[in-house]
Structure 1
Amino acid sequence: MGAGKSTLGRHLAQQLDFPFYDSDRVIEEKTGADIPWIFDMEGEAGFRRREAEVIDELTRLPGIVLATGGGAVTTPENLGYLHQRGCVVYLWTPVEVQLARTRNDKNRPLLQTEDPEARLRALFAERDPLYRKVAHHVVSTASGNLKKVSDDVLACLTSHPARG
């Protein structure tokens, strides 16, 4: 959360002239409901089932840029879909930066807690190894410099044999 996946994804898609998809937005479009409502009604497990269906569908499309929700890596099927069907770039972001970027965001159900920092630290500890497992490349977004991060990601994509 707060790594800049959607912002960077839209920017990269423009540069590459590829369509951009945000899996969370696709889920909202398909269900007609926002993510917090889905979490409230179906719990995290229900949301993750919907997310896996959407990621399976989207990763079958050629020549796209896809931003997934931060927890997509917690579903084993997603790890396979993402790693085998595309070039995965893990946008590594320190917890302090994530906290600053998400501080006032009410659209993140997992952070609606009395101690968002503790929640982010726990999520980072759980997810960082999964991101590293699925990723073909790791790029830091800590600088917040969109051009630098974009250039770093483009260099990764250029060197990846499955690009396109």
Structure 2
Amino acid sequence: MIHPEEAERLQGVNLYLIGMMASGKSTLGIELATQLGFQFFDTDALVEQIAGCPIPQIFADQGEAAFRDLETQVLAQLSSYTRLVIATGGGIVLRPQNWSYLHHGLTIWLDVAPALIWERLLKDPGQRPLLQTPDPEVTLHRLMEQRQPFYAQADVRVSILSETRLPQLAEQVWQAIRARLREGIPSR
């Protein structure tokens, strides 16, 4: 559990959770926001709210570029606030412009083992537009390879090799953030 005086060490800086689909950004984000006394936002949920339709429909009707434009809009708006925990879409790191917004806070990469992500996707496939391919597992690995250099730019990296209970994961992430804070919040 994060103590309020520890949360003050963040000085209101936003936390941006980045990583692949099914890495647990939203679930963890809600837990971290609760413990820190911050507000939680999910960029995918906000994109759907603005578009008035689910993400798969945005992809089908308008294409990935339109989705990415909305995602950037949402990120730009959120970055002007403080004391937020923000779960981002897996591909948000691909646009250089988005990094200018992500750098308004502390980026935390949930680096989940590929086998674990695939296992989670099999349990709860949902509608993942980018995985609507003849071989979604190969597509997933290709996306992970493509995005890894971008994720690696995060301020904090948390490796997740197996399923971890949420309280322990939140503590693991907070320990990584605490270590980063000892080095100082990055100035951009």
- TM-score, normalising length from structure 1? 0.92
Aligned to 2:113: 94
Aligned to 1:108: 128
Which structure features the higher share of helix residues? Answer: 1
Q: How far apart are residue 79 of structure 1 and its match?
A: 1.7
Task: Output one character per residue of 1:75-102: Cα deviation in whole Å (capped at 9) or x when no partner.
Answer: 11112210x2011010001211111111
Indicate which of 72, 85, 94 corresponds to 1:52. Answer: 72
Q: Following the alignment from structure 2 to structure 1, what is the Cα–Cα distance between the partners of residues 79 and 88?
A: 11
Aligned to 2:57: 37
Which structure features the higher share of strand residues? Answer: 2
Q: How far apart are residue 162 of structure 1 and its match?
A: 4.0
* Contact 2:28–2:170 (8 Å) recurs in 1: yes
How many residues are matched? 161
RMSD of Structure 2 on Structure 1 (CA): 1.5
Are 2:46 and 1:26 aligned?
yes
Gaps of 5+ in 2: 1-20
> Which amino acid in structure 2 is aligned with residue 85 of structure 1?
H
Answer with 1 or 2: which has the greater Rg: 2
Q: How far apart are residue 111 of structure 1 and its match?
A: 1.2
Q: How does 1:3-152 map to 2 (within 5 A)?
A: 3-82=23-102, 84-103=103-122, 104-133=124-153, 135-145=154-164, 146-152=166-172
Q: Following the alignment from structure 1 to structure 2, what is the Cα–Cα distance between the partners of residues 106 and 151?
A: 28
Q: Following the alignment from structure 1 to structure 2, what is the Cα–Cα distance between the partners of residues 144 and 66?
A: 22
Gaps of 5+ in 1: none
* Contact 1:73–1:79 (8 Å) recurs in 2: yes
Task: Output one character per residue of 1:28-80: Cα deviation in whole Å (capped at 9) or x when no partner.
Answer: 11111110000011111111011011011112110000000001011111122
Q: Following the alignment from structure 2 to structure 1, what is the Cα–Cα distance between the partners of residues 73 and 119?
A: 31
- TM-score, normalising length from structure 2? 0.81
Once the two structures are overlaid, the 10-residue window that deviates more, 140-149 or 58-67, is 140-149
Task: Output one character per residue of 1:108-158: Cα deviation in whole Å (capped at 9) or x when no partner.
Answer: 11112221110111001100110012x001002222212222112112333
- Matched position secondary structure for 1:143: coil
